[in-house]
Chains A and B, each alone.
Chain A
Amino acid sequence: MTASTPTGTRVQFRAVTKQYPGHRALDGVDLDIAPGEFVALLGPSGCGKTTALRSLAGLEQITDGEILLDGSDVAATPVNRRDMGMVFQSYSLFPHMTVLENVEFGLRMRKVGAASRRTRAEEALEMVGLGVHGKRFAHQLSGGQQQRVALARALVTRPKVLLLDEPLSALDAKVRVQLRDEIRRIQLELGITTLFVTHDQEEALAVADRVAVMKAGRIEQIGAPEDLYQRPSSAFVADFVGVSNRLPGTVSGGEIDVHGVLLPLLAPARPDGAAVALVRPEDVRFAAAGVAATVLTTSFLGALRRTRVALADGTELAVQHGTEVAPAEGAVVHLAFTGAPVALAD
């Protein structure tokens, strides 16, 4: 299966609003997705990320604003004419059809001839590694296989945009990672513009070109995964993307004093006074001297270890370090900070 639109389609949200009775799901969302780009919408439940994706699909009618595909407003275009490929969170294969018939469905709707339909469906199944499963039914497949078929079904029509609505959330951890990587490989291969909704920050950071963090119907910050992680624009983003320790301190002159250590602020314009610094576990390390702490627990995470410690005033924080160090519970250790700029909690 080859990409028919190697340059992809440009997607734009302009001041998109979706109002439900008593609840505004989207509150003036602006989003520009470049052709062939993979953008993840990340956020907690109810932040509006799924509504945004469903609005693009045409499954929700927006209240206000514009949704443009290559510059054309599609807000009034019915869902079956938007030319989107979509993979849903729950398994959505048609249960009475074989795998091959499922994949052929979109082509049948486009009046593609039987021979061409069969060839393209088989190619799509090959692409997701299920070429030999064409005659099976959905109930004869595992969850991961069903989502692969759903991906093949979504892509076989060569849609303008691929929409992924938490397609991995029902799968177990190992399959999730495999399929996640496979989705990214296929997306790069086809060059298809992709919008991926997830509440799993690791998933979003791992596959997306850019991640948009949403909160209360608005995009809080959009940027490359590294930008979001290292330079969060708000406490919400810092807190939601990655793990952060919350350390009380005093802001003065663009720095915050945390237990006698001065840390630079990501946003130095903050007025002086008491504040809470959000410090990444990897920005704290064990040292021969520094802030004294007592080890509470330590967890082996494979390539690294995370140890939870308590400071003298009872503040708890996590320290991420190499596996060569395995501090004993109850041991007294000393902490130092890498000096990376920190965000402040609201």
Chain B
Amino acid sequence: MTARRSGGRGWALLGLTPFSAYVVLFLAVPTVLALGTGLFDGDGALTLDNLTGLLEPAVLRSFVDLLWLSGLTAVLGAIAGALICFSLLGTREDGWLRTGISAASGVLAQFGGVMLAFAFIALIGIQGLLTQWLLRTFDADIYEGGVWLYQVPGLILPYLYFQIPLMVITFMPAMSGLKPQWAEASATLGGTGAVFWWRIGFPVLAPSFLGSLLLLFANAFSSYGTAAALVSQGAPIVPLQVRAALISETVLGRENMAGALAIGMIVVMVVLMKAYSALQSRAERWMR
């Protein structure tokens, strides 16, 4: 029996091999390379110059902008997504509305990058359909104060486009996991509906909500495609700084700075993932 079990485990581990190889090749190795290049100069000598470069005003500014962009879209996305989940609570789990929104969210959460940027340019770009319609119909110019879509504030709307669906697919299971018996127990013990949410519903959901919020933050923090497609002038956020350091035709010889920037991003991501893991573990314990 034991031999059979260990044999089964062997086959199971074998099944994990392709995935493990993929993770090593395309996640672990690049991470080590990024870490490595950040600590060396162009001649291969060990240096801290790249890391101190992280304190340059332009780089610091790109971190700050990325952090507030990620924070803002995570908070807005989390609130909007949670409200959608709350609205869906009253619907049947296998009903068309819930399964439809769930399926759509699954697709839209992955709808970042050039496609999304193009969709926004086509809709609310300078020559966008909506922009021109508003201009013609109401004489309202949404770019009166500047062409914000192609700057950091302009990333908020496109980012929310994938943040809200991501919140729906990550938070809905937690929302559905609220046991009806908790509400009923609260009611039989004298609690009102508001008491249930204030004292039981919200506290029980808090770890899942915060965990999802962190996931959204990490999602925005590591996004590149949408920003790269929309923002063509300068490098206002860190992923675009990395691109500039690697391929800029005006600033040469800063490839190792890209490594240092990556180290900065990895540190933030590690902290986020650690916190996410702790929150998930608590959420799972409570929802069991």
- Seen from chain A, the residues whose Cβ lies within 8 Å of a Cβ on chain B are 57-59, 79-86, 88, 90-92, 94-96, 105-106, 109-110, 139, 150, 153-154, 157, 163
CB nearest to B204 among chain A residues = A96
What A residues does B287 contact at CB under 8 A? 95
- Seen from chain B, the residues whose Cβ lies within 8 Å of a Cβ on chain A are 179, 181-182, 184-192, 195, 199-200, 203-204, 285-288
B contacts with A: majority SS: helix
Asked if B189 contacts A139 (CB within 8 A), the reply is: no
A26 to chain B, nearest CB (A): 19
Complex A-B: 8 CB contacts under 8 Å: A59-B184, A59-B188, A88-B181, A90-B179, A94-B199, A109-B191, A153-B185, A163-B188
Asked if A139 contacts B286 (CB within 8 A), the reply is: yes
Bound together, the chains give a CA A96 to CA B286 distance in angstroms of 7
Q: A95-B285, A139-B288 are in contact. Are A88 and B185 (CB under 8 A)?
A: yes
Q: A80-B190, A94-B204 are in contact. Are A86 and B185 (CB under 8 A)?
A: yes
Pairs A-B, 6 closest by C-beta atoms: A109-B190, A106-B189, A92-B181, A95-B286, A86-B188, A79-B187
What B residues does A109 contact at CB under 8 A? 189-191, 195
CB nearest to B282 among chain A residues = A96
- Additional A-B contacts beyond A57-B188, A94-B185, A96-B286 (4; CB < 8 A): A95-B287, A96-B203, A106-B189, A153-B185
What B residues does A95 contact at CB under 8 A? 204, 285-287
Bound together, the chains give a CA A105 to CA B191 distance in angstroms of 9
Bound together, the chains give a CA A105 to CA B190 distance in angstroms of 9
B208 to chain A, nearest CB (A): 12
B170 to chain A, nearest CB (A): 20
Q: A94-B204, A96-B286 are in contact. Are A157 and B189 (CB under 8 A)?
A: yes
What B residues does A96 contact at CB under 8 A? 200, 203-204, 286
Bound together, the chains give a CA A163 to CA B189 distance in angstroms of 12
Asked if B185 contacts A80 (CB within 8 A), the reply is: no
What A residues does B187 contact at CB under 8 A? 58-59, 79-80
B227 to chain A, nearest CB (A): 38
Bound together, the chains give a CA A139 to CA B179 distance in angstroms of 15
Asked if A139 contacts B285 (CB within 8 A), the reply is: yes
Pick the contact of A92 from B179, B199, B285, B288 — CB < 8 Å?
B179
Asked if A157 contacts B203 (CB within 8 A), the reply is: no
Asked if A110 contacts B203 (CB within 8 A), the reply is: no
Asked if B203 contacts A105 (CB within 8 A), the reply is: no
Asked if B182 contacts A94 (CB within 8 A), the reply is: yes
What A residues does B186 contact at CB under 8 A? 94, 105
